[in-house]
Amino acid sequence: MPNRFAQGKKAFGFCSICGQRADLSKLKPQIIKQKVTNSLRCSECLDEDQPQLMLGTFPIDDPQALRNPRPDPALAASRQIPDNGKTLSDLFIPPLE
Ligand SMILES: [Zn+2]
């Protein structure tokens, strides 16, 4: 099957961003969210595909809550200072005036 397009070994094009002339084979398409756009860019204007734009693309299962947790029952007692009965937050957080 014959190719409908010429090879374009000596063809040149212009960057879609800066407009500089470059070999057509050196202009690369800009990829955004893993999709090729119609923008051909020179090496200086070509941006890497930003991984932060791919949020929601891949399923991520990272639950934070625990089923049937068992908190420390002595937590409140461990934060008491035996001398005067004040808690640590009483010592370090100034009272409201
Ligand atoms: Zn450019």
Please indicate, yes or no, if residue 24 is contained in any of the structural domains. Answer: yes
Domains held by the chain: number: 1
Please indicate, yes or no, if residue 66 is contained in any of the structural domains. Answer: no
- The alpha carbon of 41 and the centre of ligand 1 are apart by a number of angstroms equal to 5
- The alpha carbon of 43 and the centre of ligand 1 are apart by a number of angstroms equal to 7
Which residue range is the domain that position 49 belongs to?
11-53
Please indicate, yes or no, if residue 34 is contained in any of the structural domains. Answer: yes
Please indicate, yes or no, if residue 75 is contained in any of the structural domains. Answer: no
pLDDT of residue 45: 95
pLDDT in tens, 62-74: 899 999 999 888 8
Residues 6+ apart with CB under 8 A from 68: none
pLDDT at 1 over 80: no
Which residues are within 5 Å of ligand 1 (an ion), measured at CB? 15, 17-18, 42, 45
Task: Return the higher-pLDDT residue of 76 and 44.
Answer: 44
pLDDT in tens, 2-41: 889 998 899 999 999 999 999 999 999 999 988 999 999 9
Query: Residue 36 in contact with residue 29, Cβ under 8 Å?
Result: yes
Q: What's the average model confidence in pLDDT over 60-87? A: 82
**Joined tokens for residue 84:** 């005067």
